[in-house]
A and B are shown apart, each in its own frame.
Chain A
Amino acid sequence: MEQLKLIARIADQQIAISADLVESVVEIEAITPVPLAAAHIAGLAALRSRVLTIIDTYAALELGRSPRDGQLQAIVVTIDHHLYGLLVDEVVDVAAFAGEPEPLHAGLSRGWAHAAMGIVEHEGQALLQLDPARIVAGPMAVAA
């Protein structure tokens, strides 16, 4: 069964996210910070009349902090009736993938391991497929 997946780049890694879950890809201009919130909550941004909670994917994957310069791209997903924007370095492509993600048994850092659903292959290149819900939950969930 073929499945559409969105391919994006985060910290020089190409990752895939199931396109079913993605509402849109938006350019983020201004982010309203949310003081006291967890590190992976970058802040709030407006998507027309709706408020997006922007997720710092670098922080969620325990890779530091997402770059915040210039135009930012975010993948918009809805999780539990809340709208989130996952910051990515670049959205690369949307492609059809065959087959389910395969488990990957070793070698991932804790942050990646937490968010990864497995390995998918695209044009001979192995990509990590990430679960947006786990990115949104952030690194705290690992500790819990």
Chain B
Amino acid sequence: MDELLGEFIAETRETLEPLASEIVAWEIAPDDRAKLDSIFRFVHTVKGSCGFLDLPRLERLSHAAEGALAEVREGARRPDKRLVTGVLLIIDRIGELVEALAAGLPYPEGDDETLILALEPRDDKEEEAVPAAAAAALPAATPRAPARSIRLPVELLDRMMAGVSDMVLARNELSRRLRERAGDGNVDTAFERLSTCVAEMREAITRTRMQRIDGLFSALPRMVRDLSTELDKQVVLVIDGGDVELDREMIEMIRDPLTHIVRNAIDHGIEIPADRQRSAKPAAGTLRVDARQSGNQILIEVADDGRGIDDERLVQKAIGAAIVTRERAAAMTRAERLELIFAAGLSTADQVTAISGRGVGMDVVRANVERIGGTVEIDTQLGRGCRLTLRVPMTLTIIPALTFSVGTELFAIPRGAIDEIVRASGGSVVVERVGCALVARIRGERVPVVELDKLLGVPSHVDPARQILVVVRASSGERYALSVDSVQDHEELVVKPAAPAIMATGVYAGTTLPDNGRPMLLINPAGVAQIAGVKAPDAAIPAKSDVVAVEVETVPTLLFRACDGATRAIRLGLVERIEDVASGAVANIGGRLRLSHDGRILPLFGCEAVVPDKYDRVRVLLLGDGETEIAYAIGEVIDIHALSPDCLPSAEPGPIAGVMLVDDLQVELVDCFWLFAQAGGSSRSTERPLCLLDSDDPWMRDVLRPIVEQAGYRVGYSGDANDPDAAVMILSADRPSADARSSAPVIRLRSVADESVGPAGSIYRYDRRGLIAALAAAQGGR
């Protein structure tokens, strides 16, 4: 508010000065229309500003003068001497009050009513009396506070800025020359002093371009009030950080995006009081607008405690609007889903409202912010609210950049676009040529390489293997690696737009003059991507792409040589153990290989028949999904890689999910889903084979039963029903044979370890392995 007031005072003073002569001229020739108009304009302006600034006294005065002058302009009244005097007195009084305001003094005493009444048309008789009285009421001399601010054309400031930049360059040149010749202490000291002065000057001039963000925020209370009244909502606006300073041009650039975000928050975010109370929130919503400085960026946060954004609904809308495909939507992370709010042509509102449904979407907001080198982030919790964060650089013209060389030439690239910098021959980097294109694999992630030397036709001076890859993410979503000869420096550069013929190439964002005084070109990452033919896989979602997904979603994958010699891959997360088992533990049961292992019978995949090694063992992967366990026979383990989750899917469902490329080798990816489905299908309880136990033997009922069940059988008792479906029967060695009705094989358990004591083929009852093997074999016999 102070700033607005200061502006009002400066403006009023400024107009009052030339007006003084106009007033005198008008007094002489009250019929001069041009003079009348300029006086009318003055009081009209003052009235308008006073209403806005809440200065009722000034407003009343200017209103009275405006009214009288309007009558004159309409011809309803003649500008007689009384009126002229009255107007003049009022203008004088306005001047006094403004001076008092400027000096921060209390308003001078004085009866404004008298002045106002003096304007009323009256009989001529009283003509002299009133103005004289009014004039008498004027204090003789109000001390005029010296003006503390002046108005300057921005152009002049720009010229000063350019002058200072020249000075900095001259200083640098001088510095170089001084370094070349041997140091003279006195000269060096003087030069240091000069340098300090130049630096201070530069900072001061830069500050002239800065403005408090207050100016931007001051319009918000009114807007929030109007909007909430219109929408029958209650909104409490909390503003913080108005003293943060920002380049004045920047302030203009973020005015519209900020307005739009605030409108959205009230229109779509904050609920009507009834709804809020139903969800146990205070009836009045809170809208928090907050600015703060963070490094050379300004953060502006707009947070509401409204209903938040339903990312599910957002995705549905995006699918409906053909912005994303259903498949892509299913693979999106929550953050990616929320990013959809910035996609063109998407609005979360069910109905287009007068408030925010004006064809300006969040896509425009993002585009506007990105144009000035800023970013917009969104964070929301359904039912809890939504927070949008704008990040903008403090000034338009100075950007942090990385400078690098290609051949003899130097270029710069905005640092914000750089993800990482790696050596082309570094340990985790492999550059391969695929067709005629280069692709770098950086920690398992594939990134297209743009050879800047070839693209620009500047011969490189460095062996390709020694080049440096600058991994870049363009604002349009492409991610690629620029191959450059060497990285020079991080610098803050003053960037100016280049001539149209240079911009027309598309690869440059502007020119800059670094301290060495040799112009440099700033590379435009998005333009290079376009010219080099690097594409963002999904243009609808600017910030994310499939390429990015590759980066974040590598899956640890086990490569192994299968029993048939092929190289296959399996997701490491499912592999519980790798074990060598005796080949005898594997049996072909029910048309499928099964492995008896640790007291369980597991379906065994991976081979048609077991190929044991020379020690008569088979190497298996034990896979688990938490419920089911299966075994997968392999030849040998090759390696563990971090690989993309994507693979080329196979045509039909089966044990192989698809093919993926690992180190230029085609590798089949094992479809664990299919395997578990197969395994799960055969282990449902109704389909489990029945094992009959001797019901008269409590040891069997209490001790043996869990083991048998674990081995994949269901348990019945020979005593109560001789189920003819029984797959196997377990009897003590000393029990008589089961009756003839059952054809099931019988496993006999003996109670002593010595095999010679019991009947032939019997198993010691604590020989768990033997028992499990027998159970597996029995099942195979059916």
Contact = CB atoms under 8 A, between A and B. Distances in A.
Interface string A117-144: 0000000000000000000101000000
Contacts of A32: 409-410, 518-521
Given A33-B409, A49-B168, A50-B162, A38 B513 contact: no
Nearest to A84: B499
Given A34-B505, A35-B458, A36-B457, A48 B499 contact: no
B458 A53 contact: no
A45 interface: yes
Contact of B502 (A41, A48, A80): A41
A125 to B, nearest CB: 32
A100 B648 CA distance: 74
B155 to A, nearest CB: 12
B707 interface: no
Nearest to A79: B499
A50 B507 CA distance: 21
B511 A138 contact: no
A58 to B, nearest CB: 16
B501 A37 contact: yes
Interface string B170-186: 10000000000000000
A121 to B, nearest CB: 33
A4 interface: no
A46 B502 CA distance: 16
A56 to B, nearest CB: 11
Given A32-B409, A44-B519, A53 B498 contact: yes
A37 B162 contact: no
Nearest to A43: B519
A30 interface: yes
Given A46-B519, A51-B511, A34 B502 contact: yes
Contacts of A45: 519
B166 interface: yes
Nearest to A35: B456
A82 interface: yes
Contact of A36 (B170, B498, B505, B517): B505
Nearest to B161: A49
Contacts of A53: 498-499, 501-502
B451 to A, nearest CB: 13
Which of B457, B496, B508, B518 gathers most chain A CB within 10 Å?
B518
B742 interface: no
Interface string B135-170: 000000000000000000000000000100110111
Question: Taking each of B409, B410, B502, which has the highest tally of chain A beta carbons within 10 Å of its own beta carbon?
Answer: B502
Interface in B444-489: 455-458
Contacts of A35: 409, 456-458, 505, 507
Contact of B521 (A30, A40, A44): A44
Contact size range, A: 20 to 34
A121 B365 CA distance: 58
Nearest to B494: A49
Contacts of B18: none
Contact of B513 (A30, A46, A80, A82): A46
Contacts, number: 76
A33 B166 CA distance: 23
B500 interface: yes
Interface in B493-530: 496-502, 504-505, 507-508, 511-513, 517-521
B526 to A, nearest CB: 15
Contact of A38 (B410, B496, B501): B501
Given A44-B519, A44-B521, A48-B169, A80 B511 contact: no
B588 to A, nearest CB: 68
Contacts of B521: 32, 34, 44
A91 to B, nearest CB: 22
Contacts of B169: 46, 48-49
B389 to A, nearest CB: 34
Nearest to A48: B166
Contacts of A50: 162, 513
A52 B502 CA distance: 12
Nearest to B457: A35
A80 B162 contact: no
A51 B513 contact: yes
A40 B504 CA distance: 13
A65 B500 CA distance: 21
Given A36-B505, A37-B505, A51 B500 contact: no
A39 to B, nearest CB: 10
A95 B521 CA distance: 37
Interface in B188-218: none
Nearest to A30: B518
B513 A41 contact: no
Contacts of B501: 37-38, 40-41, 53, 136, 138
Contacts of A48: 166, 169-170
18 contacts: A32-B519, A32-B520, A32-B521, A34-B521, A36-B456, A37-B501, A37-B502, A38-B501, A40-B501, A45-B519, A49-B165, A49-B166, A49-B513, A50-B162, A52-B519, A82-B499, A84-B499, A136-B499
Interface of A: 30, 32-38, 40-41, 44-46, 48-53, 80, 82, 84, 136, 138
Interface of B: 162, 165-166, 168-170, 409-410, 455-458, 496-502, 504-505, 507-508, 511-513, 517-521, 531
Given A44-B519, A49-B165, A82-B499, 8 more contacts: A32-B518, A35-B505, A36-B507, A37-B502, A41-B501, A44-B521, A53-B502, A82-B500
Closest 3 CB pairs of A and B: A35-B456, A44-B519, A49-B165
